Amino acid sequence: MTSLGSYGLVAHIVLAAACFLSGPSSSGMVRLALFLFLAIVREALQGRFGGKDTFALPRRAANAGSAWVLGCLARLRFNLASPGSDGLTPLHLATSLGHFEAVRVLIGARVNVHATDLSGHTPLAMAAAFGHANLLHELLRASADPNAANIGGGTPLHFASARGDASAVQKLLSSGAGPNIADGGGMTPLFTVVCEAQKADMVATVETLLAGRADPNIGTSKTGQTALMRAAFVHSPGAVQSLMRAGATVDYCDSFGQTALHVACREKSFEAADSIIDGSSGEVLLSQDNDGQYAVTLLCEHLACGDAGACRVLGRMLRKDPRLANARDFGDTTPLITLLSAAKRHGDDKNALDAVQLLVTAKADVTLEEESGWSAAHYASSEAVREALDAPASFWAGFDADKPRDDSNSKYLARRGGHHRIPLLDRQDVLRGDWTVTGIARRIAEGRSVSIVLLFGAGVSTSAGIPDFRSSTGLWVNDTARNLFSPEIWSSDSTSAWRLLTGLLRGTEANAASLDGKQRPQPCSAHRFAYLLEQRKLLLRCYTQNVDGLEREAGVSKDRLVQCHGDATQAICTACPWKAEQSAEVLGCGAPDKDAPTCPSCGSPLRPAIVCFGESLPACYEKSATADLSQCDLLIVAGTSLCVYPVASLLKQVGPLCPRLLVNRDRVGLWQTSESPSENNLQYRDACWEGDVDKGFLELAKLLGWQKEMIDP
């Protein structure tokens, strides 16, 4: 009896022959013979195997670009739209490889032009990404959606923009593509151009998007960098000029407090700096970043080396606003002091002579001292530079070259941080002088925090008997337990791995309930508090790094929960996209008396739906994080070392007037400072409960009058 493998082999041989012999030069008889042979193969496959193997034939034909064979398959009613295990349909394959005639046949056969692969890519997105202009045109004529986004939020316009393909961008815009749609990382097509396109194609693509009503001030990186900043970073003065003509805001600051002019000066993008200075008011020159640095402060590093371009920019700055010559940073350092300090580090201050003369001509005060007690003269090492300082004789008469330098930096440390750009009254209003859980509870009770985001680490579940990771008794102490987060263990010994994982997640008898004769850990105070917030419509999202599922056990809904590192209570296949609808426990994963089950689709071992080492975080994290943190008006961080990124970076992504509470055994991250919270320092919005996590949430619930619901859920 002929086997399935034999029929599959015959089918593939026939198809290969068909693709080879069905070119324009083939005779009608050859084509007819191949057509009949394909029909026979199809009948044999469908009769014996229910059509299961026929799905491979259209994919092979599409991959080979054989339009005639696809036409034959269409007339024989083969399914031309079936995806493979990767989610790729024949249309995806033909489009990605640029097979124009094959794509036309598939479109003519009315396959679904909106189909997506496992990453959410449509054929149109592939045409844009691979630069197949003729296929882009055909797919748009077939009504492909120009705004269909993949799981990361990227649209076909993002892909065309990344290539710097101005023609494709124009086609997509003309077909209704949204020029201001941001992907999951906050990047618009315009921002994508200046990040990824080749410089030769950048300006034309930027101008095409701007002509299509792209907003130059929408779309930033995770650090708040704008398209204008990025254009300066990549040394594209043409893109900078185009963006500024379109109204790009020059005084917008990134998360480090730096403007586009800061970036241009730091990166030696001097032509971009010229354009920014000429096209803006003098106020941008006096903008300070979080460390108190002006753009000229960053320019001084290049001025100290005698860079002619840097000197040209300095002259432009001083003509625009002469006040800059005596501007003082958070340590009271002037540009002249910064310049000569940098020159001293480089070993020859004569290279800075031209810049010194420009500053002195602009009336830089050489007698001013920085916080350390030193003036510019203390850093001057050559006679030529001392003469160029043009200090009065009275200054030199009292000058002490051996004056000790105060390196405490106390004034700088007290001033640093982006809070200096926020009005004092606004800073005072965040916690109103109470940097404890009482101040946080008051905000919630008064209705001033109604979009609360929670960030949970392993410490919120330890009282359930589930170990954390980094303590002396944590998972990382045991190499075997650590291997549970390596994908290899699940392919090689899934039975032992499931048993170990199940034991770790069972909890202790102290906080476990016996259901069906099995001990199960119960939700802790943090989990119950999350549920109470959702019940009162105060929970925007709960981001948990834990894989134990206790948030769901407490009642937090799927819509309000992001399991950043996955869910160990659910099972997936190690080899194919199959995902279990039942829990891992119901499937028998981790059962002590039998082997772990295998995938019903392909027979491979099952593994928990967790994020293993080297794997990406789930799409829901990228999709939700940016929007949630911009809306968040209270962030509560609990049970974490804040050592695991990118999740640990979330606390820096909330707005500057969003209070942040740490409920933790130890102070970690930004709460480790020795400074007491004050509206005059970086801790103006940060409260802390240092101690037992359960007690911290119980105290917060008590202050809100929710203690009974916490104890008797």
Secondary structure in 3-state letters for 244-279? HHCCCCCCCCCCCCCCHHHHHHHCCCHHHHHHHHHC
Q: Give the lowest-confidence range in 45-59, 319-333, 422-436.
A: 45-59
- Check residue 657 and give its pLDDT: 93
Q: What is the pLDDT of residue 7?
A: 45
pLDDT at 33: 53
Question: What is the mean predicted confidence (pLDDT) over 588-602?
Answer: 76
In this prediction, residue 4 carries a pLDDT of 38
Look at the block and give the residue holding tokens 């001083």: 318
61: left (phi over 0), alpha (psi -120 to 50) or beta: alpha
CA–CA separation, 662 and 659 (whole Å): 10
519 — phi, psi (to 5°)? -80, 130
Contacts of 285 (CB under 8 A, 6+ apart): 261, 277, 294, 295, 296, 317, 320, 321, 324
- The single residue listed with the structure tokens 């295990």 is 85
pLDDT score for 416: 84
378 with 406: CB under 8 angstroms? no
For 13, 17, 52, 82, 508, the CA distances from 4, given in Å and listed in that order, are 14, 20, 10, 20, 51
Identify whether the C-beta of residue 543 lies closer than 8 Å to the C-beta of residue 455. yes
Residue with tokens 């961008």: 169
User: Which neighbouring-strand residues pair with 610?
Assistant: 566
Least confident of 130-144, 495-509, 512-526: 512-526
Lowest mean pLDDT among 46-60, 122-136, 328-342: 46-60
| pLDDT tier for residue 326 given thresholds of 50, 70 and 90 | very high
The whole-number average pLDDT for the span 176-197 is: 94
Name which of 148-162, 205-219, 457-471, 633-647 the model is least confident about: 457-471
Is the bond leading into 322 cis (omega within 30 degrees of zero)? no
CA distance 164 to 169: 8
**Closest to 260 measured CA to CA, from 293, 227, 283:** 227
Q: Which residue has the higher pLDDT, 494 or 210?
A: 210
The 3-state DSSP class for residue 143 equals: coil
User: In the prediction, which pLDDT does 358 show?
Assistant: 96
Establish whether the linkage from the previous residue to 646 is cis, with ω within 30° of 0.
yes
Residue 425: other Cβ atoms inside 10 A = 8
Q: What is the pLDDT of residues 495-505, one digit of tens each?
A: 777 777 776 66
Asked which of 37-41, 127-131, 563-567, 681-685 is least confident by mean pLDDT, the reply is 37-41
- DSSP state at residue 640: -
Q: How far is CA 333 from CA 318, 327, 612, in A?
A: 17, 8, 48
Asked if residues 545 and 458 have their Cβ atoms less than 8 Å apart, the reply is yes
Radius of gyration of the chain, Cα coordinates, nearest whole angstrom: 32
Evaluate whether 627 touches 644 at the Cβ level (below 8 Å). Answer: no
Distance from C-alpha of 133 to C-alpha of 129, rounded to nearest angstrom: 10
pLDDT at 574 over 90: no
Percent of the chain with pLDDT over 90: 55
201 touches 167 (CB < 8 A): no
Q: What pLDDT does 504 receive?
A: 67
CA–CA dist 601, 578 (Å, integer): 7
- Structural domains of the chain in order of their starting residue, each with its CATH number: 250-421 (1.25.40.20), 424-466+523-565+617-713 (3.40.50.1220), 470-506+566-610 (3.30.1600)
> Is 554 in contact with 531 (CB distance < 8 Å)?
yes
What is the pLDDT at residue 179?
Answer: 96
Choose among 329, 244, 259: nearest CA to 292: 329
Q: Tell me the CA distances in angstroms from 539 to 450, 625, 693, one per residue in order.
A: 7, 14, 19
pLDDT of residue 482: 66
pLDDT of residue 469: 61
**Exposed, middle or buried: residue 321 (CB in 10 Å: 0-12, 13-18, 19+)?**
middle
Mean pLDDT of 638-659: 86
Candidates 465, 522, 528; CA nearest to 710 is 528
Angle at 290 between CA 285 and CA 292, to 5 degrees: 55
Q: Is it the case that residue 221 has pLDDT exceeding 60? A: yes
Place 471 in a pLDDT band, splitting at 50, 70 and 90: low
Element (H, E) at 456: strand 452-456
Q: What is the mean pLDDT of the chain?
A: 85
Which residue is listed with tokens 């330890």? 462
**What is the total residue count of the chain?**
713
| CA of residue 639 relative to chain centroid, distance | 23
Per-residue pLDDT, 227: 95
Model pLDDT, residue 462: 83
Predicted local confidence at residue 476, as pLDDT = 52
43: confidence class by pLDDT, cuts 50, 70, 90:
very low
| pLDDT above 80 for 195 | yes
d(CA 168, CA 305): 44
Distance of alpha carbon 474 from alpha carbon 458, whole angstroms:
10
pTM above 0.85, yes or no: no
> Which residue shows structure tokens 């029929």?
7
pLDDT per residue as tens digits for the range 341-379: 999 998 888 999 999 999 999 999 999 999 999 999 999
| 690: helix, strand or coil | strand
Catalytic residues: 565
Residue 344 burial by CB count (10 A; 0-12/13-18/19+): exposed, middle or buried?
middle
**Residue 9 pLDDT exceeds 70:** no
Backbone phi, psi, residue 180, to 5°? -115, 20
Distance of CA 448 to the CA centre of its chain: 28
User: 407 falls in which pLDDT band (50, 70, 90)?
Assistant: very high
Whether 643 shows a pLDDT value over 60: the answer reads yes
Q: What is the pLDDT of residue 623?
A: 78
d(CA 65, CA 15): 12
- For residue 546, give the nearest of 445, 657, 469 by alpha carbon: 469
Six token digits for residue 395? 């200054």
Q: What is the pLDDT of residues 264-303, one digit of tens each?
A: 999 999 999 999 999 988 889 999 999 999 999 999 999 9
Share of the chain above pLDDT 70, in %: 86
pLDDT digits (tens, 9 = 90+) for 84-115: 888 899 999 999 999 999 999 999 999 999 99
Helix, strand or coil, per DSSP, at residue 452? strand
Beta carbons within 8 Å of 236's beta carbon, 6+ residues apart: 194, 199, 202, 203, 272
Closest among 310, 456, 303 to 385, alpha carbons compared: 303
